[in-house]
Amino acid sequence: MVSDSARDAKEHGWRQFDEIDAAYRAGSLDLDGWHEAVRAIVEPVYLAAATPEGGSGHHGSPQEWQRTRSIVMEAIDGPGTFLDVGCANGLLMDSVHRWGSARGVAVEPYGVDIGGRIAEVARARYPHWAGRIWTANAATWFPPRRFDYVRTATEYVPADRLRRYLQHLLDHVVAPGGRLIVGKLNELRSDEPVADWARRAGFPVGGEIRRPANHPDVEHTVFWVDLGR
């Protein structure tokens, strides 16, 4: 049995999200209602955060942010455009740009978020990138361009829509020859790895990285799917 401490380490607010998922499965929330219910929980918390990391969903120090979120860079193997789906206040966009520069890799960041207010924060924080930060639901979004790297997470849609969501990103958001990056995820060691689920769902997983988290029952993970490489 998974402890509450492990669930807390995996996902803050999981009790509220479990209630939303239950309502969706019961049919009392449709898909739009699910997205709105999640946004109504997440956006005010991000807006009220006292630190840039908190405003991007991280409960820890700048050093912890770098240690945990830099796993995304393991999936970036060359220069290109990078779209952060669920960009929040833009911190990961900025981080990937800086981390790439430190490695001599030019990464041009873009962002999209379902929350209009939090996307405005990102535009205000990074005015030089304001024209490349959109407000949209990525599950149904057709962007004005496609991107070499597209980063997303699994919690942006209900579980029964995940396969369709990832396929939408591959079909309409990732550029030909590009890469869909899924992570950083917090995974319980007792669960089937999400990368294994993706393989069973028919996605050609090109690579996977797993790192220990602060809780012994949780790992930080990222995997990626290449499009015509």
DSSP state of 29: S
Alpha-carbon 168 to chain mean position? 15
Cite the beta strand spans of 130-229 per DSSP E: 133-135, 147-152, 174-188, 205-212, 218-226
What radius of gyration, in Å, describes the C-alpha atoms of the chain? 17
1 confidence band (pLDDT: 50, 70, 90): low
pLDDT, tens only, 98-148: 999 999 999 999 999 999 999 999 999 999 999 999 999 999 999 999 999
The pTM is what? 0.95
Mean pLDDT, residues 84-94 taken together:
98
Longest Cα separation, the chain: 50
- Full domain range(s) for residue 129: 4-226
How many structural domains are present in the chain?
A: 1
Instruction: Please name the residue that has the structure tokens 């393991």.
Output: 74
- DSSP-derived secondary structure letter, 208: E
pLDDT at 123: 98
Going from the C-alpha of 91 to that of each of 7, 53, 192, 216, 222, the distances in angstroms are: 25, 7, 30, 27, 18
Query: What is the domain-level CATH number for residue 144?
Result: 3.40.50.150
Could you count the other beta carbons within 10 Å of the beta carbon of residue 10? 19
